[in-house]
Amino acid sequence: MQKQAVSTSTVNRGQTVSEEHIRRLWTRMQMLFGYRWFSAYGPEDDGTWLAVLGDLPPQAIADGLRELRDRLYEWPPAAAEFRRLCLGLPSVEEYVADRDLDGGYDHRRLDARTSAQIRSERRRIAEARYREFVERETERRVSLLLEHHSDEQ
């Protein structure tokens, strides 16, 4: 299946997402999610989405919209989740599953309390690793996107 990019670079030739990009994103999200978007986020951004996405190049929004489509989202994402999609970062669940951070324990052999404690501790460790991964990858990917965007100009 051929992926189509949504052109946002024609809105503003600056290096990062602007208020105009957010307005266009708002319109696009309203078309995608209808009343669900409007009831969750209202008729316009209160500044939250611009604050969350403002350091990204405009192409990242197109990437995030493509991820929404490809993953068949039925409900609108929160701003931080959309940022993750824009950067192509996995969710914490995907990160844990890809790395088998559950340890491969057969929890059926343990009593329920011990099993729950192990799962809880492994989840805490996995979430800490995930936060570190997201911080590293966000910095790296934003830098690459900005570099790529400035090379195109």
* Structural domain boundaries, residue 2: 1-88
Look at residue 148 in the predicted model and tell me its pLDDT: 76
- Evaluate if pTM is beyond 0.95: no
Same domain, 98 and 114: yes
Q: Where among 88, 111, 136 does a domain terminate?
A: 88
Cβ neighbors of 95 (< 8 A, separation 6 or more) are 101, 126, 129, 130, 133
Mind listing the pLDDT tens digit for each residue in 25-67?
999 999 999 999 999 999 999 999 999 999 999 999 999 999 9
Residues 44 and 94 in one domain: no
Q: Which of 71, 88, 105 is the last residue of a domain?
A: 88
* Rounded Cα distance, 85 and 61, in Å: 9
Pair (46, 32) in one structural domain: yes
- Clarify whether residues 134 and 72 are in a common domain: no
Question: What pLDDT is recorded for position 12?
Answer: 38
